[in-house]
Amino acid sequence: MSLEDLPDGQLAAIVTYLEMTEPPAGPVPDGSLQLRRVRLDADRYRALFRKVGAPWLWFSRLGMTDAELDAIITDPGVELFEVAAVEAVVGMLELDFREGGACEIAFVGLVPELAGQGHGRWLLAEAVHRAWREGIRRVHVHTCSLDHPAALSAYRRAGFVPVRRALERFIDPRLTGVLPADAAPQVPLLGTDTPA
């Protein structure tokens, strides 16, 4: 075994890629939340992305220009959903059908306050159900070691099979101002004099 130090200000994550090549059996469980298809402009998308993803250091879409982000979220092959509890938006789902014969569950998540209540299982089942449609032969997703600790096991329980791993290194998005310094307190913020 070998260890390699990361310079201050950098993070590393193990990314696990998973897929399924046939729909799972069984119905989608009932849920008390609502899934609403939406069309969002870049600013509203970023606000939702931050609300759901900041606790897990989701940042990939936050550094994009409006034009880059709009090219993705307005593409007819991309479907965006808000997860709502009464009137409050508490999660998101993004399905990407731009690759022929495949659907990527690009982003799926709920605000941390809903953890442990069974809502995640419902949302993931809904995501898989909506991903499988005429012409789809593969549904895939990826997660990383900075994500919710139950994410990988939840994907496997839903029927996804791990197919590869990668190491991702990046500048901590809290140091670049893409996310606030208090995001993801479970990941120590190094490379600054600001206490985290």
Predicted TM-score (pTM) above 0.95: no
Q: Kindly give the pairing relationship between strand 102-110 and strand 10-20.
A: unpaired
CA nearest neighbour of 162 among 19, 14, 22, 13: 19
Cα–Cα distance between 143 and 152 in angstroms, integer? 7
Which pLDDT band holds residue 192 (cuts at 50, 70, 90)? low
Cα–Cα distance between 38 and 21 in angstroms, integer? 27
pLDDT for the residue 196: 44
Cα–Cα distance between 82 and 77 in angstroms, integer? 17
**116 has pLDDT over 50:** yes
Domain boundaries, the chain: 18-140+150-160
* CATH of the domain spanning 18-140+150-160, picked from 3.30.390.10, 3.40.630.30, 3.40.50.1100, 2.60.120.10: 3.40.630.30
> Average pLDDT of the chain?
94
pLDDT per residue as tens digits for the range 24-72: 988 788 888 999 999 999 999 999 999 999 999 999 999 999 999 999 9
